Amino acid sequence: MKVPGNNNSPVLFIDSGIGGIPYCRHFMEKNPGQNIVYLADREHFPYGGRERKELAVIIIKLVQQLISIYNPKIIVLACNTASLATLSELREKFPLMPFVGTVPAVKPAVLATKTGKIGILGTELTINEPYLKELAAQYGSCEIIGIAAPELVEFVEKRFFSASAEEKETTVRSYIDRFIEAGADAIVLGCTHFLLLLEEFHKEAAGCIAIFESINGISQRLESLLEDSMPAQRVPHRLVITGEAEPEAMWLSWAERLGFGLSLMDRL
């Protein structure tokens, strides 16, 4: 089902924090005429350590609120954990709303591996999700080496701006080394937060191990759902955060960097 491109309603991106920004930014750069709202669920960050049922309750309630406020034409779950845990329930609950999920790029990694071992770096919920092994089995026989890295999610969320280039590279290298030692020749970045360190992953993995992600694929999927025409009216893009506290400096920095207006959801 195609969505009219001239519909002024926004494309809505949802993540627990800043992790979905690479997807949002990539789509926005390729489709500059589309209206965008990015929702960071600061109140419930991080998603990765929560039980599946608990997370589903949180996200369904959040989506209900966002639909009533923004009437989006497409909702992007710009979070691997949220997509794996809640996408099917959301589609059942809101059958008229197109949803695009972000699922780790397992297929290309399986097709590319020579050692028969691929690494998936993600949250606890993502790493323990049976769907990933089932997905991998569709494309070949390989061993999945999963590493849950909640501390890396925290590092990206809290210290993306303050950490030095050397600290980012050293942090990334520690995970790459663990996968290499386990015999993997491909790493799937299974948490959207890690995409903010994509440059560091490619730099530190060069010549050692291949890195796989799904940024371009998500933009292509969104474009396939939109008709060619652009919205009749451009409105300011919005970065919206949940929670009652005043926005921290990092949110002001991201809003400025993206060229978005900044709002607190409970004060709309």
Question: Which residue segment(s) compose the domain that 150 sits in?
Answer: 106-213
Bridging pattern class, strands 261-264 and 238-241: parallel
Output the pLDDT for position 233.
73
pLDDT for the residue numbered 176: 98
- Assess whether 195 and 221 both reside in one domain: no
On whether both 132 and 229 belong to a single domain, the answer is no
Residue 2 maps to a domain: no
Has 142 been annotated as catalytic? no
pTM of the predicted protein model: 0.94
Residues 136 and 263 in one domain: no
* Residue 24 is among the residues annotated as catalytic for this protein: no
| Terminal-to-terminal C-alpha distance of the chain | 31
pLDDT of residue 8: 84
Are 234 and 254 within one domain? yes
Task: Identify which of 157, 174, 165 has the alpha carbon closest to the alpha carbon of residue 121.
Answer: 174
Q: Are residues 125 and 76 part of one domain?
A: no
- Tell me, yes or no, whether 75 and 45 share the same domain: yes
Contact 179, 187 (CB under 8 A): yes
Number of independent structural domains in the chain: 2
Candidates 139, 137, 138, 145; CA nearest to 117 is 145
Residue with tokens 């386990």: 182
Output the tens digit of pLDDT for each of the chain's 268 residues.
Answer: 677 656 789 999 999 999 999 999 999 999 988 999 999 999 999 999 899 999 999 999 999 999 999 999 999 999 999 999 999 999 999 999 999 999 999 999 999 999 999 999 999 999 998 989 999 999 999 999 999 999 999 999 999 999 999 999 999 999 999 999 999 999 999 999 999 999 999 999 999 999 999 999 999 999 999 887 667 677 889 999 999 999 999 999 999 999 999 999 975 4
Provide the CATH number for the domain around residue 74: 3.40.50.1860
Asked if residue 1 is part of any domain, the answer here is: no
* Active-site entry in 24, 142, 191, 208: 191
> What is the per-residue pLDDT for 267?
55
Tokens of residue 120, six digits = 């998936």
* pLDDT recorded at residue 236: 87
Look at residue 232 in the predicted model and tell me its pLDDT.
61
| CA–CA gap between residue 128 and residue 122 (Å, rounded) | 10
Same domain, 92 and 72: yes
